[in-house]
Amino acid sequence: MAQLTCDDLTLGYEGKEILSGLSFSVNQGDYLCIVGENGSGKSTLMKTILGLHSPMKGKIITGEGLSQTEIGYLPQQTLVQKDFPASVREIVISGFQGKCGIRPFYTKAEKREALENMKKMRIDDLQKRCYRELSGGQQQRVLLARALCATKKMLLLDEPVAGLDPKVTAEMYSLINGLHKEGITIIMISHDIEAAMRYATHILHIGGDAFFGTKEEFKRGMFLNDRSLINGGERRG
């Protein structure tokens, strides 16, 4: 059984349909990049998978022992979130809140795991620093460490390199790829087709010409004939 299946989804908000008839499945260990025009429903799809939105039609099914509370999420940041006055350690360990229930404290095991995730993201030396004092790349690594505290199974990443310079972007992609090699399923919204071709196992293109398949199938398909998809990122609409 697939780890995640989206079956004939229709998505939208405030009664407005933005995406319909979407079906695809993700197996454990896949690396799926979601691409498409602005406003095509990529972020709405991700929030629906997380249970933050309800589909207008269709259903989302989890398998392989995955529950919605075991999906880690790295959203796009707002300016208010970037200015959040908390320490790096406080933000990272808050990733366990979904597992705490009514328990008002973190266990020793959770504290150890939070430290391990900070080490994995190379930010353990920043754990006492205030989050809002960090660079954009450091903040993204903090949020990725926080997402790891929520899951060892699946990560949903909404444009995790947006606004980062090329060097920091490459470092972020390398960290994400390392997590994928450890067996974590990655679902990532991206505007970077070249990176998707380098790292992903599967591509989902939504909006206009829909496509779901392996990156090899994507390369062989009609999208290779659209140079704007290969050079300079996705088409803008």
Amino acid code (one letter) for 210: A
Residue 69's pLDDT is what? 77
Q: Please compute the mean of the pLDDT values over residues 121-141 and round it to a whole number.
A: 95
Residues 10-39: pLDDT tens digits? 998 777 888 889 999 999 999 999 998 888
Q: Which residue has the higher pLDDT, 236 or 137?
A: 137
* Domains of the chain in sequence order: 1-44+53-66+155-166+196-237 (3.40.50.300), 85-152 (no CATH)
Q: Please enumerate in sequence order all residues whose Cβ is within 8 A of that of 5, keeping only pairs 6 or more positions apart, or say none.
A: 24, 25, 26, 60, 61, 62, 63
Judged against a pLDDT cut of 50, whether residue 229 lies above it is answered with: no
Residue 237's pLDDT is what? 32
Q: Which residue has the higher pLDDT, 28 or 221?
A: 28
Judged against a pLDDT cut of 50, whether residue 231 lies above it is answered with: no
Residues 189-213: pLDDT tens digits? 998 889 999 999 999 999 777 899 9
Q: Which residue has the higher pLDDT, 101 or 221?
A: 221
Q: Strand 71-74 vs strand 16-26: parallel, antiparallel, or unpaired?
A: unpaired
Helix (H, G, I), strand (E, B) or coil at 8: strand
Q: Which residue has the higher pLDDT, 65 or 98?
A: 65
Instruction: Say how many residues make up the chain.
Output: 237
Residue 101's pLDDT is what? 64
Residue 230's pLDDT is what? 41
Residues 68-104: pLDDT tens digits? 778 999 988 766 577 888 999 999 999 988 776 666 7
List the 71-74 sheet strands across, edge first: 71-74, 154-158, 185-189, 31-36, 202-206, 211-214
> pTM of the prediction?
0.86
How far apart (Å, rounded) are the C-alpha atoms in residues 53 and 101? 22
Q: Which of the four pLDDT bands, split at 50, 70 and 90, describes residue 108?
A: very high
Share of the chain above pLDDT 70, in %: 90
Q: Please enumerate in sequence order all residues whose Cβ is within 8 A of that of 232, keeping only pairs 6 or more positions apart, or say none.
A: none
